[in-house]
Structure 1
Amino acid sequence: MTAYQKPSLAVSEIEVVLRNHFGPGAAELTPLTGGNLSSVFSFVHEGNGYVVKFSDLEGAYQTESFVSNLLSRQGIAFPKCLVLGKTGSLAYIITERIGGRNLADYTVEQQAAHLPELISILTKLAAVDVGSTNGFGWIGPDGNGTYASWKDFVIACSAEDQTGTFWENWHDLFRTSYLERSVYEEIYNRLMSCISYNEPHRGFIHGDFQQWNILSDGECITGIIDGNCIYGDPLVDLAILDLHMPWSGVIKAYQDFQTKCGITIPNFKARLIGAYYFKGLDGLRFYAKMGWKDAYQGTRQFLLNLES
């Protein structure tokens, strides 16, 4: 299996899409880095900044539109969705652009200085009101989860048959990449053994809460973007941030903040371990498909050394 390639578009194709919605005058069309599954560009029209993203994955952006409305209504800075459309075989979305640069562009020291804000945002995400929706796992275009339980979702994520998705024929990775079946199955079995701790908790999960999807102006966090949004245990987002900023003391800062706010988190350690296994397992598969060997090896070592 070859590494996944984002869709490629000629500038003229993008300009046609923008002209259809904005008329003439779109300028400063610039490719943006960071998106793994979308081709992303920024542009300016009448002095305002926007972003357009293109994907060849089915139904790529309907959920993002729902999430945009959900989060913005609850005071979380997330790009406002303006347009959904299709051009040929590609879906696209046009959103307002949030100012700032990817947190990943800053030094480790500058990233660490943002930790209090990051913990506050994680706490707000965990408190998002999802009471009008139901289900677990991937958030569909109607705002509901795709599965009846967290366990059903986890089992489905590792199913061999993923026809029509990003993970179609993913078992080929056991032959064509450095994804080791024995390691994958070991982590999966550990995940299933502690799933009962995560299963009762249903909240909003950004699903990719790390430096490439967090924007800063150098002084403060200006917003969050993208996401692989699901319903489940919100501690998954905490695990993701810790996996990407292991040097920053994320876990202690989170616990201290919850204590300060009078928030009690039942079975914290067991749930966090389950979150590590869930996200780390998907990370192993993703890094192998993308050809990111260092990330694969680092995640592999972390998961195998994790105490259940």
Structure 2
Amino acid sequence: MTAYEKPSLDMREIETVLLKHLGPGAAEITPMAGGNLSSVFSFVHEGKGYVVKFSDLEGAYETESYVSDLLSGQDIPFPKCFALGKTGRLAYMILKRMDGRNLSDYTAEEQVRQLPELIGILTKLAAVDIRATNGYGWIGSDGNGVYDSWKEFVVAFNAEDQTGTFWENWYDLYRTSCLERDVFEEIYNRLLAYVPYNELHRGFIHGDFHQWNILSDGTRITGIIDGNCLYGDSLVDLAILDRHMPSSGVIQAYQDYQAKVGISIPYFKERLLGAYYFKGLDGLRFYAKMGWSDAYKGTRHFLLNLKA
């Protein structure tokens, strides 16, 4: 299995899409860094900034459009969707561009200074009102989770048969990449042991809450972008941020903030372990597929050394 490659487009394809939705005048069309599964471009039209994203994955942006409406309507700084469509084999989405640069562009010290605001946003994400929806796991275009329980989702997400998804034929990675079956199965069994703690909590999960999907002007957070959004235990987002800012005291800062605002977190340690195993297992498979052996080794070491 080769590493996934984002779709490539020529400028005429992009200009045709923008003309259809905005009329003439799109300028400064520029490729943007980031985005492992989408080809992303920024542009300006009539003095306003936008982003257009293209993907060859089925239904790539229908859920993101739903999430855009959900979050931007609940005081979360998430980009507003402007248009959805298809051009040939590709789905596309046009969004309003948010100010700021990727938080990853700033120094470690500058990132840590913005940790209190990040903790506040994590808390808001966990409190997003999803009572009108049901289900767990991936959010469908109708706003509901695809699975009836967290366990059902975890089992399906790690099953061999992933026909029609990004993970189709992923078992080939055991043969063609650094992915080790015994390690994967060890972490998977640990994950299942913690599912009972996580599945009691159904909240909104961004699913990719780290510096490359967080925008900042250097002193404050200006936006949260992208995401592999799902329903489940919102501590998954905390685990993601902690793994990407490992020496920043993320977990203690989160616990202190929750205590300060009077939010109780039952079975915090067990739920956090379940979150680490869930995202870490996904990370092992992803890093193996992308050929990122250093990231694979670091995640492998972290997961195998977690203590109950």
Could you state the TM-score of these two structures normalised by the residue count of structure 2?
0.99
Q: 1 CA distance for matches of 2:6 and 2:212? A: 17
What is the identity, as a one-letter code, of the residue corresponding to 1:101?
Answer: R
Q: Deviations over 1:255-288 (max 9, x none)?
A: 0000000000000000000000000000000000
Counterparts of 1:41-56 in structure 2 under 5 Å?
A: 41-56=41-56
Give the deviation of 1:64 after TM superposition: 0.4
Matched, 1:63 2:53: no
Runs of 5+ unmatched residues, structure 1? none
Give the deviation of 1:13 after TM superposition: 1.0
Identify the residue that residue 235 of structure 2 maps to in structure 1: 235
Q: Deviations over 1:127-178 (max 9, x none)?
A: 0000000000000000000000000000001010101000000000000000
What is the identity, as a one-letter code, of the residue corresponding to 1:204?
Answer: F
Identify the residue that residue 191 of structure 2 maps to in structure 1: 191
The secondary structure found in structure 2 opposite 1:83 is strand
What is the identity, as a one-letter code, of the residue corresponding to 1:241?
Answer: L
**Aligned-residue CA RMSD in angstroms?**
0.5
Q: 1 CA distance for matches of 2:104 and 2:16? A: 32
The secondary structure found in structure 1 opposite 2:207 is coil
Q: Deviations over 1:30-72 (max 9, x none)?
A: 1111100000000000000000000000000010010001001
Identify the residue that residue 111 of structure 1 maps to in structure 2: 111
Counterparts of 1:65-144 in structure 2 under 5 Å?
A: 65-144=65-144
Identify the residue that residue 2 of structure 2 maps to in structure 1: 2
The secondary structure found in structure 2 opposite 1:306 is coil
Q: 2 CA distance for matches of 1:77 and 1:193? A: 35
Could you state the TM-score of these two structures normalised by the residue count of structure 1?
0.99
What is the identity, as a one-letter code, of the residue corresponding to 2:44?
Answer: V
Q: 1 CA distance for matches of 2:6 and 2:248? A: 31
Give the deviation of 1:23 after TM superposition: 1.2
Give the deviation of 1:219 after TM superposition: 1.3
What is the identity, as a one-letter code, of the residue corresponding to 2:180?
Answer: E
Q: 2 CA distance for matches of 1:61 and 1:73? A: 18
Matched, 1:266 2:266: yes
The secondary structure found in structure 1 opposite 2:37 is coil
Identify the residue that residue 146 of structure 1 maps to in structure 2: 146
Identify the residue that residue 173 of structure 1 maps to in structure 2: 173
The secondary structure found in structure 2 opposite 1:239 is helix
- The runs of 4+ residues in structure 1 deviating greater than 3 Å are none
What is the identity, as a one-letter code, of the residue corresponding to 1:257?
Answer: Y
Identify the residue that residue 257 of structure 1 maps to in structure 2: 257
The secondary structure found in structure 2 opposite 1:79 is coil
Q: Deviations over 1:169-211 (max 9, x none)?
A: 0000000000000000000000001110001100000000000
Give the deviation of 1:21 after TM superposition: 1.1
Q: 1 CA distance for matches of 2:271 and 2:46? A: 48
What is the identity, as a one-letter code, of the residue corresponding to 1:227?
Answer: G
Equivalent residues, number: 308
The secondary structure found in structure 2 opposite 1:95 is strand
What is the identity, as a one-letter code, of the residue corresponding to 1:31?
Answer: P
Runs of 5+ unmatched residues, structure 2? none
Q: Deviations over 1:203-239 (max 9, x none)?
A: 0000000000000011100010000000000000000
Q: 1 CA distance for matches of 2:289 and 2:72? A: 33
Identify the residue that residue 156 of structure 1 maps to in structure 2: 156
Give the deviation of 1:12 after TM superposition: 1.4
The secondary structure found in structure 1 opposite 2:30 is strand
Q: 2 CA distance for matches of 1:33 and 1:304? A: 32
Q: 2 CA distance for matches of 1:231 and 1:44? A: 34
What is the identity, as a one-letter code, of the residue corresponding to 1:231?
Answer: Y
Give the deviation of 1:20 after TM superposition: 1.1
